[in-house]
Amino acid sequence: MSKFCCYLLILLLLLFFVYYLDNQKVVRELKQQEKNISEPIIPEKETAEKQDLRQLLEKYLQSARYSDYQQVDSLIANRFLPEMPPVKGEIFISQPFSELHQGVDIALPEGDIVYAAAAGKVIKAAFDEYFGNLIIIDHLNGYNSFYGHLSEIIVDENYFIEKEAPIGLAGSTGFSTASHLHFSISKNQKFIDPEELWKQTEKTTSLN
């Protein structure tokens, strides 16, 4: 047998061996795919932390469907509902809510601390020609609260603040003749009487 024939035979054997190996690789891959398809997908075991987060989210989503805040969990509703007066102690209203005066004027000495009626985002903290130093808080539920005539603003716009957090000091800036706080609440862009939401209405005293 010539050398050429020997070389040709060796080459054919090598080609056959390579083909055999490739064929076995394809067979193994097909079997693995069949196994993956036939085996059920077992979800990752939920950790206790994930369960707590999921339950909290479900609770929040469920509570968000209610329009009556009395039916919503107090930890969620009360935190963002402006149901408390923006000042501490006894409240003296110098001008009540009316169609022409869509808010209440609370008599306060200059420098008294003014508090956020509920948690929310500060969407305005700047000087207004009529209301002087003015703060507006969006409570993220259709309610906005307004704090006017402040002598000083101590929060910044776009800040998230908690309920009862100090936000400013009472004063007489803007169109005002004496130190007081003009306080308004709007619900879905319509002004409402703040006293309807206040829990401690028995502490409210009118000066009229």
List pLDDT tens digits, range 67-96: 444 444 555 667 888 988 999 988 899 999
Q: What is the pLDDT of residue 94?
A: 92
Determine which of 10-14, 103-107, 117-121, 122-126 has the lowest per-residue pLDDT on average. 10-14
Cβ within 8 Å of residue 8, ≥6 positions away: none
| Secondary structure, 3-state, the chain | CCHHHHHHHHHHHHHHHHHHHHHHHHHHHHHHHHHHHHCCCCCCCCCHHHHHHHHHHHHHHHHCCCCCHHHCCHHHHHHHCCCCCCCCCCEEEEECCCCCCCCEEEECCCCCEEECCCCEEEEEEEEECCCEEEEEEECCCCEEEEEEEECEECCCCCCEECCCCEEEECECCCCCCCCEEEEEEEECCEEECHHHCCCCHHHEEECC
Domains and CATH numbers, the chain: 84-206 (2.70.70.10)
The one-letter code for the residue type at 29 is: E
Kind of pairing between the strands at 204-206 and 91-95: parallel
The reported pTM is 0.62
Answer yes or no: is pLDDT of 113 > 50.
yes
The one-letter code for the residue type at 67 is: S
Which is higher by pLDDT, 156 or 69? 156
